[in-house]
Structures are given as structure tokens and as C-alpha cells.
Chain A
Amino acid sequence: MELIFELSKSGRRGFIPPRADVKNYELDLKYVRKTPLNLPEVTEGDVVRHYTNLSRLNYAVDIGFYPLGSCTMKYNPKLNERVASLPGFTDIHPYQDLSTIQGALELMFNLGESLKKISGMDAITLQPAAGAHGEYTGIAIIRQYHRDRKDFERDEIIIPDSAHGTNPASSAMNGFKVVEIKSDDRGMVNVDELKKAVSSHTAGMMLTNPNTLGIFEENVLEISKIVHDAGGLMYYDGANLNAIMGQIRPGDLGFDIVHFNLHKTFSTPHGMGGPGSGPIAVKDYLADFLPIPTISKKGEEYTFDFSHKKSIGRVRSFYGNFSVVVKAYAYILIMGEEGIKKASEMAVLNANYLRAKISKILKVPYNNTCMHEFVATTLPLEEKGIKALDFVKRMLDYGIHPPTVYFPMIVHEDIMVEPTETESKDTLDHFVDIVEKIVKEAEENPEILKDAPHKTPIRRLDDTRAARNPVLRWKGN
């Protein structure tokens, strides 16, 4: 498709600002722009058609099944969008006086209380803007906790090799060294390795549970004890909270800090890669380290609390991604206690149903009862020259979004499937049919996979060329 810049015709306008109703002020010319500004000159109609046509090149949850592992691409309820666009939520300023924003504070307070209940924690901040931002905040709290105890030796964070890349990156940004723990032959943290890894340098451990293989870390209580006994804190990466919410609480498993991905577990949309929201909840002994301000309730009044003496500071401007918070709150209200519990049950049932079916077609290396997701591998097709990438690219031709590929890095040629609870058995059966068809194709006509996709708006793109000769902006005709 043409770029919006290529549609530009000098003299066209898309929006006319109001006419000046005050006298003109002549700003000192040395500040006024002299460099030409090459923005498109197009009409409103041009803009609407351009972006509408672009949108039709996308796959999305509103279009179909999106089984990306560890991304929890559940359905995004439309009520969420409706309430988040109420003027009383969208058109309010963060520096308004407290008496004029009581509804907003009440909502943030209530969501915080709900998340505390779901996680079994004592205090919360809604400030972080995404999951990784929450991780950054949580690890900063670990750092400040040890510094506050005058324990300056603790410079290591322990992370399993199955973790998301954000875990080590968030630790490194906080100045920590990363100690990687290998998984055992069942895909779980190797407890003996962990025992060897902890020391007086251990600041804490980050654990995703269930892990990225979709396996619940059975030894979680022992793991927490080992880390706590060594003087470290336990961090719960909430990427996979959807599997266990309402079943068990991280706060009861020895975790000191928890992050939530409101854009995964609590149904807010992913927006092509954000905005998300990554609240952090902690046990009471860490409450004073939270970013400021938090929200508190005094009688019937809601207020900002800036009193945290040991706060890590702030991790962004203002109070977090408020409209994402509104959507998550609407979701919790409509689901309620029973719905939250049912969501995790159905997410886990859907994943196990798919695992049972797929394991008969592809190889599932850890083929026991899984939680909300599982990892399969296309290794059996290797002799035909088929890689996991070829396999999933062919799925695009059948109109579904592929699962995550090549992650976690500890399984070769893997695809990681997370169906979520919002998909029906019919959809799952359809997915299985497609996988079956592609496996058959791989045996009969492997070339069709290697060249896939064939029916998408564009075919396989040259990543190497993009990286070797970077063209990162439009530079004119």
C-alpha cells in the first residue's frame, strides 16, 4: 500500500482549527520554525480510507483465534471500551484538585483492592505502564530493600532459563548480575541447582509460575524457602497469572512482590503492542518502598499518599495507564468471584484439551497435565526440512494466527500454544484440523510450507535486508 506521505498533495487539508478569536502575538522570530515540515497534506477522507485500508491488513483478536503462548490473547470485551471512553474518565487532568477527581481515585483504589485479593498481597501501585515496567519497579524495590538494610553485598538476581527476556533485562537495568538456573528434565526449576546458586549475594529470584512451558512449579514452596533462607526476596512474574487466578494466590506461596499484566489476565486489549498496564503488589513490609503516590481512603474521601519514606521514587509521570485500569476494573466487576475462578479453569481445560489432541500429531516434550499453555515441537518434521517457522507461516494461509515460535529457548523448534478461556471447543477443533492438514502437507509437499504464506497481504519478508540496509523512515520519492 502507498504511504500516507505518497498521497500528499500540496494545498489539501484534513482538519481546520478554529479561527483566531484573540489578537495575534508575534513570537521572537529566532524561535519560529524555518525548516520545512514535511507532514502529509491530505483530506479527512484520504486519512480515513488510508488507515481503514491499513487496518484490514492486520490480524486481531476481533478477527479470530490468536493462540500466542504467554501473551494471553483473550477476548477484549466491548463494555471495557465503552466505559473507558466516558468523558468523566478520558477528559480529566492528573493535576486537578482532589475534590474534582474522587470518582477516578475511587476506581483506582477499588481495582487495587481487587488485585490485592486476587494475589494475596497487602499494598499496591498502579503506576507501571507495562509488564516489563512492573518488573523494573519490582526489582528496584528489591534493590532498595537490601540497601535500606545496609546489605550492599546482594548483587544477584536468580532467573530460570525458561523466563521471558524481560526478566534478565529488568534485573540488569537495576544494576544486578543475572544468575541463570537450568530447568530439570521435567521443565521445572532444578532445586539442587538453585541450592547451589543462592548465597549472600542473592538479592532475589524472579519466577514465572506456571512457567513458560505451561508447567506449574510444583516445588514453589521449597524454592521460596531456599531463597528466603539465603536472605533474598521472591518476585512473581504475573505473565501467566491467568492459569491460577482464583485457584491459588502468589501471596500464599512465599512471593514478596507480584506484577500483573492487566492487558493479559484482565482482558484489556494489546493495541498492537501497548498500552498495557503492569501494577505491582507487595507484602506489607515492602509497602514503604512503592513508587509515590499511592492511593488511600480516609473515611469516604480518596487521596494521594506521598508519605512513603523509603520509596524507590517514580517510574513514570502521573499515576499509570488510567484508562487501562478502568477496563480491567469493568472486567473484574462483570466476572466476579465465580467468573474469575471459572476463567482460569476453562483456560487450563482448553490448553489441556489442545495438548491432548496436538500430542497425537506433533511432539509435546513435557506431555503431562499442563496449565494454561503448552509447548509442542515440529522436530518430527525436520527430516523433511521443515522448521517451526515454516510450520507456523503455513497456518497464516489457513486464516489463523500462529502460536509463539522459538520461545522458550530451552525447547528446539518449538511452538507455544495458549488458547485462553474465551475460545470455544469448536475453535480448538478447527485449530487441530489445521495442524493435522499441515503435517500431512509437510509429508506430501513440504515446499508449500517452505514458501508459506501464500495468501496473506504480503509474503515472507527479507529481515536480513532490513537490518543490513536500514530504511527507518520515508525519505521522499
Chain B
Amino acid sequence: MDPYIPNTELEVKEMLKTVGVESTSALFSSLPQEKRVKSLGLPKGLDEFNVFLKLKKMAKKNVDAQNFAYFLGAGIYNHIIPSAVYQIVSRGDFYTAYTPYQAEVSQGSLQTMFEFQTMICELTGMGISNASMYDGASATAEAMLMAARFKKKYKILVADSVHPEYLETVKTYASGPGVKVETFGHDENGMVSIEELKSKIDEKTAGVIVQYPNFFGVIEDLKAIRESSKDVLLIVVTNPISLGFLESPGSFGADIVVGDGQPLGIPMNFGGPSFGFFAIRDDMKLVRTMPGRIIGETVDVDGKRGFVMTLQAREQHIRREKATSNICSNHALGTLYASVYLSLLGPHGLKEIGELNVSKSHYLLEKLEKTGHFKRKFSGEFFNEFVVETDINIPKFKENLLKANIIGPLEMGKLNKISIGTPNNKFSDGDLMFCVTEANSAEEIERLVSVAEVM
């Protein structure tokens, strides 16, 4: 017997009789019999406990943040996750539900998504949010496509201080419809070069993509960027956990704000799943070109408030090849993590988290600079990560950190290999990027510094 397949031998016999066939193999008679597979070559099934042991052994081969201090960021962050988050997302009536196509028995999903949309609007300072995308990178790529669609123009400018994996994703998505992606550079502050941005915007440009705080951790001057990019859509990629403390992109006039929701209560998960968020300014013309599911408020036949998927005339199940995107499954469960997280933190908690990230990362930078081995690469203000140049032996340094139970910084040079063809931004092998969050204690920071001191 199989634990997940209930029919008994006797029942199978009865059912075959009802169907009117001799055996289950007769049900497959429409398959080309000469192509039937004899053996897949998979091993025999195991019992539950032995599968658990096997996977536990595999998990043990990894170094994890329960046992090590992490100073690694660059798109995925080790933040504190309140206990209640895991308890709620583990409820079967949430995680084993399907897309809320039957609204009458999906109000739990629909209302949490509506609340999520409201929270994203609040954080980003935007008017309308969808119910999620896959991740920050694909959300950025979809924003690029939306800008081209809305403006009917086919050139997009991307700052080279945007996460290189996001840039690569944008380039992939641009290649189908033939959108031209051009990058523009940064200055010694690590902020976008306003001069270069201005010089590259022309009448063919649909949109400009910048990141806030950017890939180097530096907080961009969105006011200056907005003033220099009139008549194009300004797309801002942002880290949502920073927005309790930093001013929202919406307040600087962003048209589309996207990002990855992982920092909002979701474990690092080796990079996925998290979710992508996608918000636009309050513009009903713009929303018609927006990708993804959107939840709206309405009433039932008794006049009772309820929620439904709405504005579906944009979506693939209705519009097929004329849809604004092919997206079907999004990352709804990820948005539940975020909604619970943001409800628990509230405005004050999120601001405190932001302050802790800023203060702790600056504390590490100051201590590292004092060792004489590290020099800050960019002078712009930063949130929770920063790039330094160093003269030390990096592999040795990282090895020593590991011995001190620390997962060290990102080696920037390693990112060059992720690009197809020539990288848009050549990173130096001697550059390191450190990330410090509220999950890092002063003791961990000092432990890291003490390893650096003896290098």
C-alpha cells in the first residue's frame, strides 16, 4: 500500500468493472504501445522515516544561518522572522488552497491579498499594487515590458547599479519583443550618473530602471533622477524592508515600483521562493497594461463586503496571446508571509528595523576601516550593505571567517560570470560587499573584525 493512494485492490476491481475494462493497463490503450516505457530507472520507493533521514543528512551538508553569522546580502537577506509568521503560513487552509477562482470559499486568500496590496501601496507610496509576481528580477523585467507597452516605445535604460541578475533577466525578457536595453553608469558616490542618464534619454526611450537602495547598498537620489527623466516611466526596484525608515519611491514620483519581498519575513531559501511585488501610481489607464492578478473589493448579493479577482481582461486565461503577461501562478503564499510580518512589525517596528540596519552596517564599516585593510569604495549614504576594496588574501580571509562560524561577504568579482557575453558592469576581484542586518549582534560584528585584524 501507498500512503498517498487510497484505493484498495478490491475497490480497484469494482471500479474497473464500472468503467468496463479488464485492467488498468487497458486504460492506456490510446498510447502508442511501442513507445510504452518499461522502466524509468528510478530507485524503489522508501518509507517516510528513511526519506526524512536522507534529506536531513543532505541538509546537514550545508552551512546555515541557525549556526553561523551571516554578512552576505546582495538581493537575499538574513533578517529576524517573528515566530508567529511561520505558525500562520503553515496553516493548511492557506498553503493547500488553490488560486481563489471560487471567491465564495476563498475569502481568506482574497482578503489577505487585498490587505497585502494595501500594505505594498503604503510602503512604496504608490496607488495600486498587484497580488504578486515570482520574484524581484522577473517583476523588474515585467515592468520593463509594461513600460514599452504603455509608451509604445522600445528603448529602456537600466542603471548599472541595478542587481546584475535583475539586469540579466531584463535582457532576456527584452529579446522577444525586441526592446533595446542600454545601461548607464554610476559615479564615485556609487550613485547613478545623472549626466549620463540625461544624455541617453531620447524620444525612443520608454522607461528608466534604477534601484533604491542600489545593488552596492547606496541610497539613490530619486528626486534628482526623477527630475532628469521626464516623459519616461521611472521604474524603481526597491528593498521593501528599508521603506519603514527610508522615504518611499512614490513620494519622489516613481511610476512603477517593484522588488523582491524576501526580506519581509521569508527565509533565505537558497534564493527562492520569495515573491515579487509590483506597484504603480494611481492611474486607471496605466493599470490596464499591468501584469498579474489584482484583488478588488465588492459586495455579495446580501450587500456584505467581499473580495474578488478583478480587472481580469488583462490576463492570459481571458485574453490569451493579447494578455499583458503570461503569468498565472504568482507567489501568493509569499505575500502572506509579508502581510503577517508587516502586521506584526507595524510602522514603528519597521522603522526600528531600518535604523538598526543602518547603524549596524555603519558600525562594521567603521571597524573594518580601522584595521587598515579595507577602504570604502563609494561615498554615498547606504542602508545595510556596502562595498570595500581590500588588500588582504580574500580566500584565506573567508576561510578564517568560516572557522569563526561566519559566512563572510560577497566577492564582487564572482558576479562577472553570471552575464551572457560581456558584462555590463565589470566588478573587481578585490572588492567585497558586506551586509549587516538587525539579525547581526555587536558580538558577531566584533568577531568578524577580529578575524580581519589578524589578516
CB distance from B22 to the nearest CB of A (A): 12
Count B interface residues, CB 8 Å: 212
Chain B contacts of A31 at CB under 8 A?
A: 219, 246-247, 381
Q: Tell me whether A23 and B98 are in contact (CB under 8 A).
A: no
Q: Mark A79-92, 1 if CB is under 8 A from B, else 0.
A: 10111011111111
Chain B 34-71 interface residues, beta-carbon cutoff 8 Å to A: 35-37, 39-48, 51-52, 54-67, 70
CB distance from A57 to the nearest CB of B (A): 4
* Interface residue from B51, B108, B298 paired with A465 (Cβ < 8 Å): B298
* Interface residue from B58, B272, B438 paired with A320 (Cβ < 8 Å): B272
* Interface residue from B104, B112, B345 paired with A39 (Cβ < 8 Å): B345
Chain A 25-60 interface residues, beta-carbon cutoff 8 Å to B: 25, 27-28, 30-42, 44, 46-48, 50-52, 54-60
CB distance from B424 to the nearest CB of A (A): 12
**Given A60-B93, A102-B62, A314-B418, does the pair A129, B32 have CB atoms closer than 8 Å?**
no
**Given A90-B268, A353-B18, does the pair A474, B114 have CB atoms closer than 8 Å?**
yes
Q: Tell me whether A62 and B272 are in contact (CB under 8 A).
A: no
Q: Is A451 an interface residue (CB 8 A)?
A: yes
Q: Is A299 an interface residue (CB 8 A)?
A: no
- Complex Cα distance, B30 from A253, in Å, reads 13
Q: Tell me whether B107 and A474 are in contact (CB under 8 A).
A: no
Q: Tell me whether B418 and A41 are in contact (CB under 8 A).
A: no
* Interface residue from A1, A103, A462 paired with B298 (Cβ < 8 Å): A462
Q: Mark B78-90, 1 if CB is under 8 A from A, else 0.
A: 1010101011101
**Given A22-B359, A61-B97, A323-B269, does the pair A16, B62 have CB atoms closer than 8 Å?**
no
Q: List 8 A-B contacts (CB under 8 A).
A: A3-B114, A62-B92, A104-B62, A272-B332, A272-B336, A318-B76, A425-B11, A473-B117
Q: Tell me whether B100 and A273 are in contact (CB under 8 A).
A: yes
Q: Tell me whether A47 and B58 are in contact (CB under 8 A).
A: no
* Interface residue from B51, B327, B347, B417 paired with A132 (Cβ < 8 Å): B327
Task: Give the size range of A's interface with the partner.
Answer: 35 or more
Q: Is A267 an interface residue (CB 8 A)?
A: yes
Q: Tell me whether B302 and A87 are in contact (CB under 8 A).
A: no
Q: Tell me whether A136 and B326 are in contact (CB under 8 A).
A: yes
- Complex Cα distance, B138 from A23, in Å, reads 38
Which applies to chain A's interface (DSSP): helix, strand, loop or mixed?
loop
Chain A contacts of B223 at CB under 8 A?
A: 30
Q: Mark A354-376, 1 if CB is under 8 A from B, else 0.
A: 01110000000000010100000
**Given A87-B59, A103-B58, A316-B137, does the pair A458, B270 have CB atoms closer than 8 Å?**
no
Interface with B: A68-76, A225-233, A378-386, A441-449, which one? A68-76
- Complex Cα distance, B119 from A174, in Å, reads 33
**Given A132-B326, A165-B320, A312-B172, does the pair A55, B93 have CB atoms closer than 8 Å?**
yes
Q: Tell me whether A253 and B245 are in contact (CB under 8 A).
A: no
Chain A 156-179 interface residues, beta-carbon cutoff 8 Å to B: 164-166, 168-176, 178
Chain A contacts of B108 at CB under 8 A?
A: 54-58
Q: Is A477 an interface residue (CB 8 A)?
A: no
**Given A117-B42, A467-B296, does the pair A13, B346 have CB atoms closer than 8 Å?**
yes
Chain B contacts of A168 at CB under 8 A?
A: 316, 320-321
Q: Tell me whether B31 and A244 are in contact (CB under 8 A).
A: yes
- Complex Cα distance, B55 from A62, in Å, reads 24
* Interface residue from A55, A58, A71, A337 paired with B43 (Cβ < 8 Å): A337
Q: For residue A326, which residue of chain B has the nearest CB?
A: B55
- Complex Cα distance, B71 from A417, in Å, reads 50
Q: Tell me whether B272 and A458 are in contact (CB under 8 A).
A: no
- Complex Cα distance, B118 from A396, in Å, reads 29
**Given A22-B442, A39-B122, does the pair A317, B166 have CB atoms closer than 8 Å?**
yes
Chain A to chain B: the 5 pairs with minimum beta-carbon distance, closest first: A336-B45, A318-B271, A88-B59, A103-B61, A62-B92
Q: For residue B273, which residue of chain A has the nearest CB?
A: A275
**Given A247-B28, A320-B272, does the pair A170, B45 have CB atoms closer than 8 Å?**
no
Q: Tell me whether B272 and A129 are in contact (CB under 8 A).
A: yes
Chain A contacts of B344 at CB under 8 A?
A: 14-15, 42, 44, 47
Q: Is B115 an interface residue (CB 8 A)?
A: yes
Q: Tell me whether B7 and A60 are in contact (CB under 8 A).
A: no
CB distance from A361 to the nearest CB of B (A): 14
A274-B273, A322-B271 are known; give 4 further A-B pairs, CB within 8 A: A61-B97, A173-B325, A313-B168, A466-B296
**Given A425-B14, A461-B306, does the pair A91, B298 have CB atoms closer than 8 Å?**
no
Q: Kindly name the residue among B176, B317, B352, B362 whose own CB sees the greatest number of chain A CB atoms within 10 A.
A: B176
Chain B contacts of A100 at CB under 8 A?
A: 62-63, 402, 407
Chain B contacts of A5 at CB under 8 A?
A: 115, 118
Chain A contacts of B269 at CB under 8 A?
A: 89-90, 92, 321-323
Q: Tell me whether B5 and A343 are in contact (CB under 8 A).
A: yes
Q: For residue A369, which residue of chain B has the nearest CB?
A: B27
**Given A132-B329, A166-B326, A470-B310, does the pair A330, B55 have CB atoms closer than 8 Å?**
yes
Q: Kindly name the residue among A23, A34, A92, A393 whose own CB sees the greatest number of chain B CB atoms within 10 A.
A: A92
Chain B contacts of A461 at CB under 8 A?
A: 103-104, 298-300, 306-308
CB distance from A331 to the nearest CB of B (A): 8
* Interface residue from B92, B101, B311, B313 paired with A60 (Cβ < 8 Å): B92
Q: Is B128 an interface residue (CB 8 A)?
A: yes
Q: Is A421 an interface residue (CB 8 A)?
A: yes
- Complex Cα distance, B307 from A3, in Å, reads 11
Q: For residue B138, which residue of chain A has the nearest CB?
A: A316
**Given A131-B329, A474-B118, does the pair A317, B137 have CB atoms closer than 8 Å?**
yes
Q: Is B267 an interface residue (CB 8 A)?
A: yes
Q: Is B322 an interface residue (CB 8 A)?
A: yes
Q: Is A205 an interface residue (CB 8 A)?
A: no
Q: Is A281 an interface residue (CB 8 A)?
A: no
- Complex Cα distance, B336 from A83, in Å, reads 21
Chain B contacts of A96 at CB under 8 A?
A: 62-63, 72, 407
Chain B contacts of A87 at CB under 8 A?
A: 59, 64-67
- Complex Cα distance, B30 from A39, in Å, reads 57
Q: Is B413 an interface residue (CB 8 A)?
A: no
Q: Tell me whether B310 and A51 are in contact (CB under 8 A).
A: no
CB distance from B437 to the nearest CB of A (A): 10
Chain A 128-161 interface residues, beta-carbon cutoff 8 Å to B: 129-133, 135-136, 140, 143
Chain B 150-178 interface residues, beta-carbon cutoff 8 Å to A: 163, 165-166, 168-169, 171-173, 175-178
- Complex Cα distance, B166 from A313, in Å, reads 11
Chain B 15-37 interface residues, beta-carbon cutoff 8 Å to A: 15-16, 18-21, 24-32, 35-37
CB distance from B139 to the nearest CB of A (A): 9
Q: Is A269 an interface residue (CB 8 A)?
A: yes
Q: Is A191 an interface residue (CB 8 A)?
A: no
Chain A contacts of B121 at CB under 8 A?
A: 473
Q: Tell me whether A14 and B96 are in contact (CB under 8 A).
A: no
Q: Is A388 an interface residue (CB 8 A)?
A: no
Q: Tell me whether B27 and A345 are in contact (CB under 8 A).
A: yes
Q: Is B427 an interface residue (CB 8 A)?
A: no
- Complex Cα distance, B324 from A166, in Å, reads 11
Chain B contacts of A16 at CB under 8 A?
A: 349
Q: Is B333 an interface residue (CB 8 A)?
A: yes
Q: Tell me whether A349 and B24 are in contact (CB under 8 A).
A: yes
Q: Tell me whether A166 and B104 are in contact (CB under 8 A).
A: no
Q: Tell me whether A276 and B128 are in contact (CB under 8 A).
A: no
Q: Tell me whether A356 and B90 are in contact (CB under 8 A).
A: no
